[in-house]
A = this chain, B = another copy of it.
Amino acid sequence: MVKRASMSDVARVAGVSLTTASRALNGVGRVSAETRARVIETAERLQFQPDMLARSFVTGRSFIVGVLAESALGRFSMPLIMGATNYLGRENIATVTLDAQGTPRILNEYLKRLRARRIDGLLVVGDDPNRASLVLSEDFAVPVVFASSSATPETDYVVAPDNRGAGQAAAEHLIGLGRRHIAHVTAAVHDPAVDARVEGFTAAMESAGMPIAMGGPLYGSYLQRWGMDAGERILDSGKPVDAIFAANDEIAIGLFATFHRHGIRVPDDIAIIGYDNRLAGVMRPDDPLSTFDPELTTVGERAAERLLDVIGGTNTPGITYVQPRFVEGRSTTGPTLEPYDVL
């Protein structure tokens, strides 16, 4: 292991001062073209790599950002965080990942640590950024970007999936297929992400001049069980329904199970769209379920990208939306789905 060349070495060999070497290598300040060329050539010959630790120390830029998650190992946080750290890695930025685990005490402890590391910025991942926002006191003034599925004050820097747009797209897809009695089986009330999908769906139905089947969205839970029950309720009602937008894939599959049991064909009789693309990564010839992929990895990437922009001073507050990707599957475009297909 040979000792690495320092900038002084480069300067000495190139016959210039350390000051000039620094300027030439960093491309700042006035240096004659020939001097610059000579220094750069020398640096390459010596395989000079600037010591980032020294640079960080003197500039105060650590090239490290914090990633603060409510629950880093959660099903939704994970791809988002990975998208972010992967992007940051490509940009040669390190991350320190901290799981707040809900308690403000831990959060405060973590913020102290991050301050000691002089992080360049902070990415907050989770659905309740307001809480984190509160704790981010004045004396910890680094750029903060929120990656979240819920809406937040317009004064923050936020990146989130466009749940509203997805709801709208779902309605439009079903309408475009010629369906006329479209229901919406959603989950819990007061989940911002779910609410936004309801909104978008409702808006699209209204502008198509089409009432929502079953008299409006049916609220329940996130479970497959609720989808099965909702299916029964729809069939019992006797009301015409030929398409359903479900709040997630579990509900969609529950609906399908009930319909199949009753001999109702999907999509022939009733088309179904889910949400989450839960079966992503399972290799199969075709997608059984029409659904939306929230592209959480992309959300993470965009959030990281934006954080670097804020750090660089070239960004203004507001929400950036990432469009969920519609996955066209057999539950809307056929052929008729069999249970084995969805396994």
Tell yes or no: A102 within 8 A of B by CB.
no
Cβ–Cβ contact A117 & B52, under 8 A:
yes
Copies of chain A in the complex:
2
**Residue count of chain A within 8 Å CB distance of chain B:** 68
CA distance A83 to B99 in the complex (A): 11
The reply on A94 being an interface residue by CB < 8 A is yes
By a beta-carbon cutoff of 8 Å, the part of chain A in contact with chain B is 1-2, 4, 49-54, 56-57, 60, 62-64, 67, 72-73, 75, 78-79, 81-83, 85-86, 88-90, 92-99, 112-113, 115-118, 138-139, 141, 222-225, 250, 253-254, 256-257, 260-261, 278, 281-285, 297, 339-340, 342-343
Q: Once the chains bind, are B141 and A1 in contact (CB under 8 Å)?
A: yes
Q: Is the CB of B53 within 8 A of A115?
A: no
When distances are taken between beta carbons in the complex, the residues of chain B under 8 Å from A115 are 4, 49
- In the complex, what distance in Å separates the CA atom of A53 from the CA atom of B61? 9
- How far is it, in angstroms, between the C-alpha of A63 and the C-alpha of B2 when the chains are bound? 23
Residue of B nearest to A341 (CB): B257
The answer to whether B78 and A257 touch across the interface, beta carbons within 8 angstroms, is no
B343 touches A256 (CB 8 A): yes
Q: With A53-B57, A118-B53, A283-B250 in contact, do A78 and B79 touch (Cβ < 8 Å)?
A: yes
> Shortest beta-carbon distance, A246 to chain B, in Å?
13
Q: Complex: how many Å from CA A57 to CA B257?
A: 62
Collect the chain B residues with CB atoms within 8 Å of residue A138's CB.
1
Question: Is A85 touching B95 in the complex (CB atoms < 8 A)?
Answer: yes
Please indicate the chain B residues that have their CB under 8 angstroms from the CB of A72 in the complex: 82, 85-86, 89
Q: A63: nearest residue on chain B (CB-CB)?
A: B117
Minimum CB–CB distance for A33 against chain B, Å: 26
